[in-house]
Amino acid sequence: MTLSPLEAGPREFTFTDDDFRNLAKLARAEFGLSLADSKKPLVYSRLARRLRARNVASFRDYMTLLAAEAEGEERLELVSALTTNVTSFFREKHHFDSLQSELLPQFSQQRRVRIWSAGCSSGQEAFSTAMTLLTAFPDAARRDMRILATDIDPAIVRKARAARYPLEERAAIPAALQSRWTVTRETDPGFFEMAPDVKALVTFGELNLVEPWPFRGPFDAIFCRNVAIYFDQETQQTLWANLARMLREGGLLFIGHSERVSGPATSDLATAGVTTYRKRPGRDRPATN
């Protein structure tokens, strides 16, 4: 996820400093988002459409609406409006190269393999991981190799589950993998789908990373890329520590190009490449949120 660009324009709604602070407080409490004062114009531009969609006259009224217990879906619309899911197949290719060279040789000796795509967006990251596994292990499903893919946004999770993408995105997939692991249909021009074997390896779900996680791992690899950039330092450090605890010894954590692991997690994680960290030996502990 990356912050959406700001498009300047005349203000349709009054948006006071108090309105911004209240929204920022809610975003921090519910989702861990850190909104600096400099983001006030961006917040206005992204949320004005939600006020229109809900026929709300002011940001103060919108805050009242968000506070209602029955408006859980609107609170998710809030976080979706403040973030944009930008991704592509095999984005940051060096991470998939590391997965292939560092972990796949070990997987041939394992009875169970688990990989987590945390903040999976519309699924390209998880499916890129699945294609990487299947290229080395065509019988990956029989070998009990599975990928968990989670995101906070229900709409983007539904899109990921559909595994259907505009045809132009297919160019990012290596040609040898395109022919083997993607499907085009004459009845659906302009789009392609992931092959059934690819889809079968991935389980999608909704998850807010700042709330308790309903699983315990361990994972052999975790992709959590361009998510922590939204959090303040304290929340980032809590996230890194919990991700580290979810990794098995020797497992890899892949993060975004502008992110760096900091805080207590540095005791558990050693640098293993560009924006790649390895779980140190003797550091297995249960995750706590």
How many CB atoms sit inside 10 A of residue 29's CB?
10
With tokens 């092959």, the residue in question is: 195
With CA atoms as reference, report the closest residue to 243 among 118, 100, 107, 153.
118
| Catalytic site residue from 46, 91, 146, 245 | 46
- Residue 136: what residue type? A
For residue 281, give the DSSP letter: T
- Per the annotation, the verdict on 151 as an active-site residue is yes
How many CB atoms sit inside 10 A of residue 157's CB?
21
Helix, coil or strand: residue 232: coil
- Per the annotation, the verdict on 158 as an active-site residue is no
- Residue 215: what residue type? F
Listed in sequence order, the residues at least 6 apart from 145 whose beta carbon sits closer than 8 Å to its beta carbon are 107, 112, 113, 114, 133, 137, 201
Listed in sequence order, the residues at least 6 apart from 183 whose beta carbon sits closer than 8 Å to its beta carbon are 192, 193, 194, 195
| Catalytic site residue from 91, 114, 151, 245 | 151
Active site residues: 46, 151
